[in-house]
Amino acid sequence: VQLVESGGGLVQPGGSLRLSCAASGFTFGPYAVSWYRQAPEKQRKLVAQIFGGGIGFTNYTDSVKGRFTISRDNPKNLVYLQMNSLKPEDTAVYYCNSARFPSSWGQGTQVIVSS
C-alpha cells in the first residue's frame, strides 16, 4: 500500500498548480480520498475530500473554497487537486489519504507560493 503525491513546486501568488495522488498496491475504489496540508510548525489539516459513488460529493475547507477543485479518475486510480489563485498562505506540504487505508501516508509534495 503506497500513496505518491506529485505536482508541487514554486509558484507566484495568483498562479496555479495541479497535484496528483497515485495509489499503488490498492485501488481507491468507492472510498473517500482526501488532501491534507501541513505548513511549517503547524498541524496537518484537511483541505479537500471527494467521496465515492457516482456523484462524487466533495467537501472543502473554507479557505480554499472557490479556488481548489478535487477530482478523481477511477480508471487511472488517480486523485487530483487543482489549485488556482494561490496565496502565500497555501504554502505547505500537501498529502493525500485514502479512507480505505487511513493510516497510510505518502511523502507529500511541497507547494511554495512566493513572489
Burial grade of 86 (CB within 10 A; 0-12, 13-18, 19 or more): buried
**Is pLDDT above 80 for 65?**
yes
Write phi, then psi, for 31 (nearest 5 degrees): -80, 150
**Is pLDDT above 80 for 55?**
no
pLDDT band at 92 (very low <50, low <70, confident <90, very high): very high
Q: State the average pLDDT over residues 65-84.
A: 95
pLDDT value at position 56?
Answer: 80
Closest CA to 32 of 76, 82, 72, 75: 72
β-partners of residue 20 are 6, 80
Cell numbers 511541497 correspond to 110
d(CA 2, CA 68): 24
